[in-house]
Amino acid sequence: MSQKNDNLIAVLDVGSAKTRVLIAELNEGALRYRGHGIVESAGTRKGVIAEIRPAAECVNQAATAAEDAADATIERCVISVGGPHIRGLNSRGGISLGSRMREITREEVRAAVDRARSVSLPPDREMVHLLPQQFILDEQPGIHDPIGMVGNRLEVNLHIATCSASAQQSIVTCANKAGLEVTETVFEPIAAAEATLSADERELGVCLLDIGAGSSELIVYFEGSVAHTSVIPIGGDHFTNDLAAGLHITAPEAEWIKCNYGNAVVTSVSQSNEIELQGLTGFEPRMVRQRFICEILEPRARELFHMSRDNLRHGGVLEALGAGCVLTGGGARLAGILDVAESQLRVPARIGSPVPLSRMPSEMAQPECAVLIGTLLYTHRTSIMRAAEDNSLRAKLRAIFAGSL
Ligand SMILES: Nc1ncnc2c1ncn2[C@@H]1O[C@H](COP(=O)(O)OP(=O)(O)OP(=O)(O)O)[C@@H](O)[C@H]1O
Ligand SMILES: [Mg+2]
């Protein structure tokens, strides 16, 4: 019989192509893989849930498969949110600490962050993360932790990650219908970064592009903080649809051809290679040059990175990519895509494979699982940070009241 276990953490990624659930166990501070379930998504369109019932059924199937593998039941999960509706914006705000110089407390840091976050958002926008980039104390920038420092005016530069409230609510509803309570939401590019980027890359400046099926999420880290987040409305499905239209074949056949014979660089495949296409019902199978397939894929890949480059330039971070570019998501598996990324962005590029959990099967350590694994790692890391904050608050209260007992 499956066991209920309070040490379990479950995460859910409702993608345009795949719905994924991962269950891990927290044992003496270390995360251990317990089980996962991955099913083809249904009811999603262009990166958002368009029909609740089929999408919820997929969540149910993926969660059940994960529970069976883990031999445990789950009641709660953390979700990731991404898609064409996500936005990031930078904001600045601060507080005066009065005329007398004194030490800055945690409450004052919170108050400064509250000022910086009080931007007016359009209706139906939800703030998912508030990410301090740097604090500025009496006009001295570059401070990461001002608690305990002394000054008159504290300001903060904040990156605010937002999403459509209704798109987020649709994922919550699907999880609820599958019997899962949602405890937290993580921005997909932040999750992918958590699973794949090193501290050195974040410090030097790095761009991560998670190429999903419906869209590609973009995040830039510089000097250790999030400098920019955005989304490019092109994903792997656009490549597949181009092939289906150009070759007059079905979308499933185009998907198979793309994954097995596709290449984003035409000149890297031999002129003489030919591939047999089944074609549409009623037509005879026929041969097509592999180069012709790549001639369809290459312009789409160029467009994806051209748009990424424009986006980075508008965000003022194109020159901040000292550590280059990292690609995650299933779309990163397209042969030749790194070459296109390097030539368009003019920085080195690599595939981001997520750091493996203890006992995790190797098929999970792939770029398309970066968001799922990163959501788990992010949840774990932030819960440790929150616990440390609570403990230090308790220690302070104990110290204050120690003399009065
Ligand atoms: N070997 C491969 N070559 C090329 N493309 C691939 C390969 N494997 C997977 N893909 C593409 O990756 C995409 C799916 O990626 P992923 O699983 O990250 O998407 P998703 O998370 O479900 O979608 P989204 O993030 O957009 O909601 C599909 O378009 C698929 O065709
Ligand atoms: Mg995805």
List, for residues 8-22, the tens digit of each pLDDT value: 999 999 999 999 999
| Pocket of ligand 1 contains residue 60 by CB under 6 Å | no
Helix segments in 216-316, DSSP class H: 236-247, 251-261, 290-314
pLDDT at position 130, please? 96
pLDDT digits (tens, 9 = 90+) for 147-196: 999 999 999 999 999 999 999 999 999 999 999 999 999 999 999 999 99
Q: What is the pLDDT of residue 404?
A: 47
In the prediction, which pLDDT does 71 show?
Answer: 97
Spatial separation of the C-alpha atoms in residues 257 and 287, rounded to whole Å: 12
- Identify residue 62 by its one-letter amino acid code: A
pLDDT at 99 (0 to 100): 74
pLDDT at 100: 74
**Which residue, by CA, sits nearest to atom 8 of ligand 1?**
330
Pick the residue whose CA is nearest to atom 2 on ligand 1.
259
Report the separation in Å between the CA atom of 259 and the middle of ligand 1, taken as the mean of its atom positions.
10
What is the position in ligand 1's atom list of the atom closest to the CA of 214? 26
Q: Which atom of ligand 1 is nearest to the CA of 368?
A: 18
Ranges of residues in the chain with a pLDDT under 50 are 404-405
Reference 196, options 184, 211, 213; nearest CA is 211
User: According to the CATH classification, is domain 87-160 in 3.65.10.10?
Assistant: no
Question: Quick one: pLDDT at residue 101?
Answer: 76
The pLDDT assigned to 398 comes to 64
The three-state secondary structure class of 131 is strand
State the pLDDT at residue 39: 98
Q: What does the pLDDT read at residue 233?
A: 96
Other CB atoms within 10 A of residue 114 CB: 13
Average pLDDT, the chain: 93
Task: Give yes or no for a contact between 98 and 152, defined as CB atoms under 8 angstroms apart.
Answer: yes
Ligand number with the minimum distance to the CA of 330:
1
- The helices-and-strands tally (H runs, E runs) of the chain is 10, 22
**Residue 396: its pLDDT value, please?**
62
Ion ligand 2 residues within 5 Å by Cβ:
15, 212
Please work out whether the CB of residue 212 comes within 6 Å of at least one atom of ligand 1: yes
